[in-house]
């Protein structure tokens, strides 16, 4: 959903154990094909995992499968060469969670309760300016992606973060159509004060549209029971 893009280049998946959001790269070939292909490859990993220790291994395999699926699609249709997508995915086993991200789609965690909790970004954007700016002391580097899923075998490994969820936690997975346009305090308020996941989703998308966001907006919200 957005004001400018004529084609929705986002894709998402909400399963029993696996949740994911992908954002096909604007300006690249067939961003919508890239995101949907990656998400479709992840679906087979929505299953019980043999204990928390296996989570990062299985989730890493899932991202590799998504990357391989893009490579196969490009080999079958050479006109798609150059397509790519960001990806953020969460796999759970009980209270244990692994998060994988490639690119600048994000995961946030609200912890500490609705009244006094804090919302923090728990993934790191893979942007050149984030990787280079401090060391090089260059203030105006472009927001170009340094890493994304595109079917290549070099340098596409995800960052994987491990968490143990607590009762009352609230999680958000989103594309940059949300995070680039909605201020952090508005994002936090929607997570903290909504009474249902659907309300939170509706408020977050409405906020992005109110800000005039030109990109597609995709969000997944998860409430952990008390």
Residues 6+ apart with CB under 8 A from 196: 223
Global confidence as pTM: 0.87
- Report whether 170 contacts 191 (CB < 8 A): yes
Per DSSP, what are the bridge partners of residue 84?
Answer: none
Query: What are the C-alpha distances in Å from 208 to residues 6, 21, 37, 205?
Result: 17, 17, 26, 5
Residue 210 pLDDT > 70: yes
| Count of H-run helices and E-run strands, the chain | 7, 9
21 pLDDT tier (thresholds 50, 70, 90): very high
Assess contact for 151 and 132: CB atoms under 8 A. no
Cα–Cα distance, 98 to 63 (Å, whole number) = 12
Q: How confident is the model at residue 2 (pLDDT cuts 50, 70, 90)?
A: very low
Q: Would you state the pLDDT for residue 39?
A: 97
Residue 165 confidence (pLDDT) above 60: yes
Pairing type for strands 96-102 and 159-164 reads: antiparallel
| Residue percentage of the chain with pLDDT more than 90 | 69
Amino acid 214: pLDDT: 64
How confident is residue 28, by pLDDT bands cut at 50, 70 and 90? low
Between the ranges 118-132, 173-187, 201-215, where is the mean pLDDT highest? 173-187
Reduced to 3 states, what is the DSSP secondary structure of residue 16? Answer: coil
Sign, CA dihedral 35-203-143-27, equals positive
Residue with more model confidence, 139 or 181? 181
By the 8 A CB rule, do 4 and 215 touch? yes
Q: pLDDT tens for residues 126-158? A: 876 554 444 445 444 345 777 899 998 765 689
38-92 pLDDT per residue, tens: 999 999 999 999 889 999 999 999 999 999 999 999 999 999 998 999 999 999 9
DSSP sequence for 68-124? HHHHHHHHH-GGGTT--EEEEEEEEETTEEEEEEESS-EEEEEESHHHH-EEEE-S-
Distance CA(208)–CA(187), nearest Å, equals: 10
* Region of 45 on the Ramachandran plot (φ > 0 left; ψ -120 to 50 alpha; else beta): alpha
In the chain, the percentage of residues whose pLDDT exceeds 70 is 83
What integer best gives the mean pLDDT of the chain? 86
């Amino acid at each position: 959903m957005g004001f400018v893009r004529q084609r929705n280049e986002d894709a998402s998946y909400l399963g029993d154990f696996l949740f994911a959001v992908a954002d096909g790269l604007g300006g690249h070939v067939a961003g919508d094909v890239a995101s949907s292909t990656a998400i479709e490859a992840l679906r087979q990993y929505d299953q019980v995992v043999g204990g928390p220790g296996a989570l990062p291994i299985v989730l890493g395999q899932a991202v590799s499968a998504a990357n391989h699926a893009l490579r196969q699609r490009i080999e079958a249709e050479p006109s798609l060469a150059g397509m790519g997508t960001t990806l953020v995915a969460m796999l759970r086993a009980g209270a244990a969670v692994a998060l994988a991200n490639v690119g600048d789609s994000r995961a946030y965690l609200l912890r500490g309760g609705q009244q006094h909790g804090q919302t923090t970004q728990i993934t790191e954007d893979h942007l050149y300016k984030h990787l280079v700016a401090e060391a090089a002391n260059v203030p105006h580097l472009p927001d170009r992606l340094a890493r994304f899923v595109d079917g290549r075998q070099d340098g596409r490994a995800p960052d994987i973060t491990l968490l143990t969820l607590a009762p009352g936690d609230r999680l958000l997975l989103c594309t940059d159509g949300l995070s680039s346009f909605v201020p952090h305090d508005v994002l936090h308020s929607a997570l903290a004060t909504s009474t249902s996941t659907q309300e939170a989703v509706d408020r977050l998308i409405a906020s992005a549209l109110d800000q005039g966001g030109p990109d597609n907006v995709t969000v997944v919200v998860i409430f952990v029971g008390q």
